[in-house]
């Protein structure tokens, strides 16, 4: 096994600081004044539905998008400076690899693009192959790899220069659960080495498992930021969620749910209650209103509930 590279000690400056970032594409405001700080050794999740502006924010940080307003700095350097480029590692959502080159050749190329040469390059390539569990497929052309292997190599290629700050843009898109778990293990290993990371996803469970703090992003704005517990507490305090499905999901049900202070989305009603005893009253009121319940459950709120609570929409809409 290759030796574990040493991650440079972060300076006293914040690994990443974003202030008032705005990016518009014509009429569409993809990023709408986002301010964010990434602490040293932290994994910050950007949780939001497709089109929320997560990727645009990431691309602004790596200098692939010029913001209309605001700044992003990496350890105090402007994001598009040479210093920031050296400190930043980007894992794009796309499989940004050379399909006809082997795994090793891909890593060597991207290492050279980052200025690595000789022994340093060789060490970095070996580390990446080992980290991505691709050592035995090193000579395999990328086009012959499975989807999960390509994803892992895609991640490794973004880390070849051993950056201190890593931006991962939905690295598990399109992979099966088994391959996803393997990716989680890779990320957890990185975390144990103390790198700082921004991780974008629209999978609540990924954010819950991997991230210290989570920023919920929607329509280009951060609508909530904190640890998972903080987010839930801020949205629900000590309340619980009641999820109810009705036999006849029609407009009258939706109107009744709204009248009772609930949220009706995709045939499912969501109510928040202080105590479990309130469920009986809810059932009674539904019966009196002539709406037959098909199913009812009580659950502790999670990030999905928070998102629904804050936006009125489900995370995967």
Binding site residues, another protein, CB under 8 A? 25, 59, 62-66, 82, 85-86, 88, 90, 92-99, 110, 113-115, 157-158, 161
Q: Which is nearer to another protein, 88 or 183 (CB)?
A: 88
Nearest residue to 15 via CA among 125, 165, 159: 165
Measured CA to CA, the distance from residue 261 to residue 236 in angstroms comes to 14
Q: How far is the CB of 163 from another protein (least distance, A)?
A: 11
How many Cα atoms are found within 13 Å in the side-chain-facing hemisphere of 315?
17
Pairing of β 213-218 and β 69-74: unpaired
Q: Which is nearer to another protein, 65 or 222 (CB)?
A: 65
Q: Which is nearer to another protein, 81 or 135 (CB)?
A: 81
Q: Which is nearer to another protein, 85 or 191 (CB)?
A: 85
Q: How far is the CB of 78 from another protein (least distance, A)?
A: 14
For 21, the 3-state DSSP assignment is strand
Backbone angles phi, psi at 269, to 5 degrees: -100, 140
Q: How far is the CB of 8 from another protein (least distance, A)?
A: 17
Q: Which two tokens stand for residue 97?
A: 């690899």
Q: How far is the CB of 65 from another protein (least distance, A)?
A: 5
Report how far apart, in Å, the C-alpha atoms of 92 and of each of 16, 147, 151, 306 are. 18, 15, 10, 27
Q: How far is the CB of 110 from another protein (least distance, A)?
A: 7
Q: How far is the CB of 308 from another protein (least distance, A)?
A: 31
Measured CA to CA, the distance from residue 71 to residue 37 in angstroms comes to 12
Q: How far is the CB of 57 from another protein (least distance, A)?
A: 13
Report how far apart, in Å, the C-alpha atoms of 180 and of each of 172, 203, 297 are. 6, 11, 29
Q: Which is nearer to another protein, 147 or 290 (CB)?
A: 147
Q: Which is nearer to another protein, 57 or 303 (CB)?
A: 57
Q: How far is the CB of 287 from another protein (least distance, A)?
A: 50
Report how far apart, in Å, the C-alpha atoms of 160 and of each of 128, 139, 156, 214 are. 6, 17, 6, 26
Measured CA to CA, the distance from residue 179 to residue 167 in angstroms comes to 20
Place of tokens 């602004």: 60
Question: 61 CB contacts (<8 Å, ≥6 apart)?
Answer: 16, 18, 72, 74, 79, 88, 167, 198
Q: Which is nearer to another protein, 65 or 303 (CB)?
A: 65
Q: Which is nearer to another protein, 59 or 182 (CB)?
A: 59
């Amino acid at each position: 096994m290759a030796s574990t590279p040493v991650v440079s000690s972060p300076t006293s400056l914040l690994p990443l600081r974003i202030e008032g970032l705005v990016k518009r594409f014509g009429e569409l405001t993809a990023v709408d004044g986002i301010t964010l700080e990434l602490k040293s050794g932290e994994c910050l999740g950007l949780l939001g539905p497709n089109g929320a502006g997560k990727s645009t924010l990431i691309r602004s940080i790596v200098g692939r998008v010029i913001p209309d307003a605001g700044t992003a700095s990496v350890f105090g350097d402007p994001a598009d400076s040479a210093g920031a480029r050296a400190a930043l590692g980007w894992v794009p959502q796309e499989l940004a690899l050379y399909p006809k080159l082997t795994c090793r050749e891909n890593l060597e190329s991207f290492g050279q693009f980052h200025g690595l040469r000789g022994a340093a390059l060789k060490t970095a390539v070996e580390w990446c192959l080992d980290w991505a569990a691709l050592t035995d497929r090193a000579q395999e052309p990328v086009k012959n790899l499975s989807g999960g292997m390509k994803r892992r190599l895609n991640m490794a290629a973004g880390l070849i220069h051993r950056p201190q700050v890593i931006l991962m843009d939905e690295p598990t898109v399109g992979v099966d659960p088994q391959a996803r778990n393997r990716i989680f293990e890779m990320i957890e290993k990185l975390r144990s080495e103390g790198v700082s990371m921004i991780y974008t996803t629209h999978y609540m469970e990924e954010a819950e498992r991997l991230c210290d703090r989570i920023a919920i992003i929607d329509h280009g704005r951060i609508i909530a930021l904190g640890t998972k517990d903080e987010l839930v507490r801020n949205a629900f305090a000590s309340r619980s969620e009641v999820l109810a499905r009705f036999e006849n999901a029609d407009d009258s049900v939706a109107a009744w749910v709204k009248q009772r202070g609930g949220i009706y989305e995709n045939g499912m009603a969501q109510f928040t209650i202080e105590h479990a005893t309130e469920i009986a009253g809810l059932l009674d009121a539904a019966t009196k209103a002539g709406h037959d319940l098909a199913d009812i459950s009580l659950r502790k709120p999670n990030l999905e509930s928070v998102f629904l609570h804050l936006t009125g929409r489900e995370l995967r809409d």
